[in-house]
Structure 1
Amino acid sequence: MKRFVIADDHEVVRSGLRALVETRADWIVSAEAVNGEQAVALTLETRPDVVIVDYSMPLMNGLEVSRRLKSKGVQAAILVLTMHENEELLTEAILAGVRGLLFKSDAGKHLIAAIEALLDGRPYFTGVLMEKLLHHYQTNKQNKLDVVLTPREQGIVQLIAEGHTNRSISGILKLSVKTVETHRASAMRKLGMSSTADLVRYAIRKNLVAP
């Protein structure tokens, strides 16, 4: 029996994914999560074979979920669903330990094939993003690289854009307020930004949060 965790903040999406997964008699969804923090907790609790996680989720996006799980030694394959055609996302996903990346719009046609690949130990990345990744490396080979935030800085920027205060973020991430302030200041310095509004616009542009 292969077990799955599904993480998406929309119930209708979770129900649809569960229905697709459980068309196989030996596949079962053992838990559903509505945000990134819950996805990590339920994965650690139920130890599934595959975690299917939406990229854009409250508290922690899909890539941060993967980073957290990998840092805790979780062996489950991570399949991230996204609506964004962004070659940078594929690069970040690979670095975060994600084994599969699939457009949400393609889930009905390709979800089973993606899961089968992951269970077989093979990666599965949607073809369009692979083409974009190649184009990205070809066109940016001699160009200056974009500013890169650390995973922690990116996670804090996402939470700021979701409306959380420094104190609230410290509770969510189990960090001191001073540490949150330090990461926040570092992100703003790297990005050349001076206000929360600038960080929110950056988060929207990078698809960390929905506009």
Structure 2
Amino acid sequence: MIRLLIADDHTVLRECLVAMLRASGDCVVVGEAGDGISAVEQALALQPDIAVIDISMPRLSGIDVVRRLTEELPRTKVLVLTMHEEDEYAVQVVRAGASGYLVKNTATNELLDAIRTIAAGGVYFGPYATKILASQLKHPQPEDPYGALSDREREVLHLVVDGLTIKEIANKLDISAKAAENRRSRVLAKLGVRNSAELVRYAVRKRLVD
């Protein structure tokens, strides 16, 4: 049996996906998560064969989840299942280490084929993602600077976007206000934005937040 973790913040969709996979005959859903942090925590605890991850989730984006699982659980493969059809997401997902990428209008049979292929050690990218990745190889684009942020810098970015002040960020992370300000400054510099307002606009534009 292929052991699966399903992470999606849309409860109805997640429950339908779980029911479909359980009826497949060769898949067992060992865990579910409704946000990125829970997805990482459950994956570390359950160590599934495959984690099926959405991109837009609260607390931690799906792309960051892929990075964490690739680094911390190399034996758990990741299949991204998302509604996003923008070119940049497929490229970011591959760079993060995912073994597959499908959009949510994919037929059930193709989703099961993808899971079985990945479980057997392969990779699976639907026609949409394959076209984008082929184009990227012919005409490579600069990597999104978000990928250059450290985990701590990404944490500060999300706290700033959530509206926390430097003092509140320092308290939450148990660091000095000066250290928190230094991290925020590094984030601004790496992303090429000038202040917190521009940082929020960047996060919204890149769909790093809901």
After TM superposition, the score normalised by the length of structure 2 is: 0.83
Q: Give the number of equivalent residue pairs.
A: 205
- Which residue of the partner structure matches residue 32 of structure 2? 32
User: CA contact under 8 A between 2:8 and 2:33: conserved in structure 1?
Assistant: yes
Query: Structure 2 stretches of 5 or more lacking a match?
Result: none
- Which residue of the partner structure matches residue 116 of structure 2? 116
The question of 1:193 aligning with 2:190 is answered no
Alignment partners' CA distance in 2, 1:13 and 1:111: 14
The question of 1:10 aligning with 2:7 is answered no
The amino acid across from 1:197 in the alignment is A
User: CA contact under 8 A between 2:44 and 2:73: conserved in structure 1?
Assistant: no
Alignment partners' CA distance in 2, 1:114 and 1:106: 10
Q: What's the secondary structure of 1:19's corresponding residue?
A: helix
Alignment partners' CA distance in 1, 2:23 and 2:171: 41
Cα distance, 1:61 vs structure 2: 1.1
After TM superposition, the score normalised by the length of structure 1 is: 0.83
Question: Identity across aligned pairs (percent)?
Answer: 35
- Which residue of the partner structure matches residue 64 of structure 1? 64
- Which residue of the partner structure matches residue 80 of structure 1? 80
Cα distance, 1:169 vs structure 2: 8.6
Cα distance, 1:159 vs structure 2: 4.6
Alignment partners' CA distance in 1, 2:161 and 2:9: 17
The amino acid across from 1:148 in the alignment is P
Greater Cα shift, 146-155 or 87-96: 146-155
- Which residue of the partner structure matches residue 130 of structure 1? 130
User: CA contact under 8 A between 1:159 and 1:169: conserved in structure 2?
Assistant: no
Cα distance, 1:96 vs structure 2: 1.5
Alignment partners' CA distance in 1, 2:39 and 2:182: 27
Alignment partners' CA distance in 2, 1:17 and 1:9: 12
Relative to structure 1, is the Cα distance of residues 198 and 56 closer, same or farther in structure 2, using a 3 angstrom cutoff? Answer: same
2:145 aligned residue (143, 148, 158) = 148
The alignment yields a C-alpha RMSD, in angstroms, of 2.6
The amino acid across from 1:186 in the alignment is R
Cα distance, 1:126 vs structure 2: 2.0
Cα distance, 1:118 vs structure 2: 0.7
Q: What's the secondary structure of 2:4's corresponding residue?
A: strand
